[in-house]
Amino acid sequence: MLETPDPQSPAPQDASTKPRRMWLIDWLLILTVVGALGLDQISKQIVRSTLRLGEAWPADGFVRLKHATNSGSAFGLFQDQTMLLIAASFLAVGFLIYFYRTHAAPRRLLRFAIGLQLGGAVGNLFDRMRDGAVVDFIDVGPWPIFNLADSSIVVGMAILIGLLILKDGRKDEGRPPAEADDETRVPDAPVHDR
């Protein structure tokens, strides 16, 4: 017997519409991106308005705020390659959006990690497009000066890598152990009857 669909029951969801809808209502991702981007841009504006370029507060110390600019990428690589770095930033943002849409839907921590990376990447992209360089201001010992966008990207990447490692570890737990070579194989302990 052929059943007719009930007009009052909701239509079945097509699998192709679910990721799209997820993108539109994912408040965790949206709030993380906006928060990381907003804190980055506000902190850079405060540094620009309170410290002259090259000025540090306090003047000495292991941790300082120091107004600097960087026309390169992380660690000062690719100096004065603004167009290349802008293109790379657009590619990175595109990849993160693709990765989100294909992998992150059910996992909150993964969505948070992607949001941190997107917010940081867009924050530095804004600086490059507007000024040709990013504002850096967090000066910790011998470490290169960085900003909140850089921090968001690094923390997001660390979370992402940690989740991927945990996921691989869980896959391995379900597999039987590989057979050892005959030379390294430990013989089974003898069973004694008592």
Q: pTM for the complete prediction?
A: 0.71
Q: How far apart are CA 18 and CA 192, in angstroms?
A: 60
Q: Is the pLDDT of residue 91 over 50?
A: yes
Which pLDDT score is estimated for 43? 97
Which pLDDT score is estimated for 185? 43
- For the segment 131-180, what is each residue's pLDDT rounded down to a tens digit? 989 999 999 999 899 999 999 999 999 999 998 888 766 665 555 544 44
Q: DSSP secondary-structure letter at 194?
A: -
Residue 139 carries which side chain, given as an amino acid letter?
D
Residue 28 and residue 100 in contact, taking contact as beta carbons nearer than 8 Å: no
Which pLDDT score is estimated for 107? 81
Just list the catalytic residues.
Answer: 136, 150
Which pLDDT score is estimated for 44? 97
**At residue 49, what are phi and psi to the nearest 5 degrees?**
-85, -15
Residue whose C-alpha is closest to residue 158's, from 105, 123, 106, 120: 120
Residue whose C-alpha is closest to residue 70's, from 133, 121, 149: 133
Count Cβ atoms below 10 Å from residue 157 Cβ, excluding itself.
14
Q: How far apart are CA 119 and CA 47, in angstroms?
A: 19
